[in-house]
Amino acid sequence: MLKIGIVGANGYSGAELVRLLARHPRAQLEMLISHRTKGTMLTAHYPHFQQIIEAGLEDMVPDEIAGRVELLFFATPSGVAKNWVPRFVDKGLKCIDLSGDFRLDGEAYRQWYKREPAPQKELDKAIYGLSEMNADRIKEAQLIANPGCFPTAALLGLLPPVQGGFIDTSFIVIDGKTGVSGAGRTPSLGNLFTEVNENTGAYKVGSHQHTPEIERFIKAFAGKEAKISFTPHLIPMTRGILCTIYAPLAKKVTTEDVRQYYRKVYKGRKFIRIRPAGSFPSTKEVYASNYCDIGVHVDERTGRLVVISAIDNLVKGASGQAIQNMNLLFGLEEDTGLDHVPVYP
């Protein structure tokens, strides 16, 4: 059994790692780490784990961790992993960071995250964990930068038509909609039920840190410069991300041409489901699962392509993809422990 530690086990993506790893046939939850709530039981914070994971939360003690686990997940807010990962990497542990600390180059990180980046050595080492697009490099990685929730949905939806030359990348619009769990479990005014329920609005207009991440990996995986307009919206639901993507067509094609190209790109990738023409995914249809569902539409009237992609932000957008990357890293089948059927309704 693969011995696992989770730093930040008390947050939502930490708890989602616990949910998924509790039933993973090859992994063993060895350490649940939470500096702030060390010494308490996980079930004190999450009673739904009663009789399933009866473990205590431990402090962040690097030497002890290094002796007990082989793989460490960082399910921490941005700004934490960059300080800790280097010493674990030096000790030979494998690390998967779910935060944004290793996804951008140093300069862009400084600009969009408003803080100092991780050391260059580790930035150079970090492999971007977009599983379906980067599996070969992920398998060899020591440090994986797990993609952001919006970039996962946006890139899986957008990369095929960019790679295939179907669209012009000079004016791409990505309109993102997210459930509230993406904001984590720390109480704040903006995440109160009373503020979010029966309400929809945009946030971080023109300034969301997932913008440069999407542009960077369009360049990395498709070789094209792209200037995207990305606007995230907060939707009154707990889980789910939907990205609605608009771009001008670069050549005359039909919806079916584009669909077939997606199917070719994602052939054999179990977690990507391309919808039949005329059908578009909604977030509930991937709920609590690791699927990314994609629908495409060639709008002949306007000469544009519309792509809609849906994921569960806590699974494919965070903890599920992290485990998918773990599977790749340790030579397991990509979907080991991840074959959940979406919960619907």
Residue-wise DSSP of 46-81: -GGGTTT---BEE---HHHHHHH-SEEEE---TTSH
Q: How far is the CB of 194 from its own copies (least distance, A)?
A: 4
The alpha carbon dihedral of 14, 16, 21, 23 has a sign of positive
Closest by CA to 305, choosing from 256, 262, 242, 245, is 245
CB of 220 to its own copies, least distance (A): 19
Of 19-38, binders to its own copies (CB under 8 A) are: 19, 22-23
Residue 270 in the binding site for its own copies (CB under 8 A): yes
Min. distance of Cβ 300 from its own copies in angstroms? Answer: 9
Residue 25 dihedral angles phi and psi, to the nearest 5°? -70, -15
Interaction of residue 171 with its own copies, rule CB under 8 A: yes
Site for its own copies in 40-59 (CB under 8 A): 46-52
Give min distance, CB of 121 to its own copies, in A.
Answer: 30
Check residue 110 for interaction with its own copies (CB under 8 A): no
The amino acid that residue 232 corresponds to is: P
List 37, 142, 163, 282, residue binding its own copies (CB under 8 A)? 282
List the beta bridge partners of residue 150: none
Which 208-237 residues touch its own copies, going by CB under 8 A?
227-229, 231, 233, 235-237
What sign does the CA torsion over 246, 196, 153, 258 have?
negative
Q: Is 180 in the site for its own copies (CB under 8 A)?
A: yes
The answer to the question of residue 15 lying near its own copies (CB under 8 A) is yes
Distance CA 57, CA 34 (A): 6
Of 155, 111, 105, nearest to 129 by C-alpha is: 155
Rounded to whole angstroms, the Cα distance separating 148 from 188 reads 21
Write the binding mask 323 to 342 for its own copies: x where contact by CB under 8 A, - elsewhere.
----------------xxxx
Bridge partner residues of 4 (DSSP): 29, 71
Token pair 């991937």: residue: 286
User: Which listed residue (28, 124, 205, 333) binds its own copies by CB under 8 A?
Assistant: 205
Q: Of 336, 343, 333, 340, whose CA–CA distance to 284 is shortest?
A: 343
List 63, 140, 189, 268, residue binding its own copies (CB under 8 A)? 189
Among 199, 263, 264, 333, binds its own copies (CB under 8 A): 199
287 sits near its own copies (criterion: CB under 8 A): yes
Does residue 311 bind its own copies (CB under 8 A)?
no
Our finding on whether 240 is near its own copies (CB under 8 A) is yes
Complex with its own copies: residue 32 or 288, whichever CB lies closer: 288
Stretch that binds its own copies, among 124-132, 174-182, 260-268, 319-327 (CB under 8 A): 174-182
Residue 95, CA atoms < 13 Å, CB-side half-sphere: 31
Q: What angle do CA 99, 79, 28 make, to 5 degrees?
A: 45
Return phi, psi of residue 139, to 5°: -60, -25
Are 296 and 306 spatial neighbours (Cβ–Cβ below 8 Å)? Answer: yes
Give the pair of three-digit tokens for residue 8.
Answer: 């930040």
Tell me if 269 contacts its own copies by CB under 8 A.
Answer: no
Nearer to its own copies, 92 or 193 (CB): 193
**288 forms part of the interface with its own copies (CB under 8 A):** yes
- Is 149 among the catalytic positions? yes
Q: Does 200 bind its own copies (CB under 8 A)?
A: yes
Smallest separation, CB 118 to its own copies (Å): 24
Q: Exactly one of 94, 103, 125, 177 binds its own copies (CB under 8 A); which one?
A: 177
Q: Indicate which residues carry an active-site annotation.
A: 149
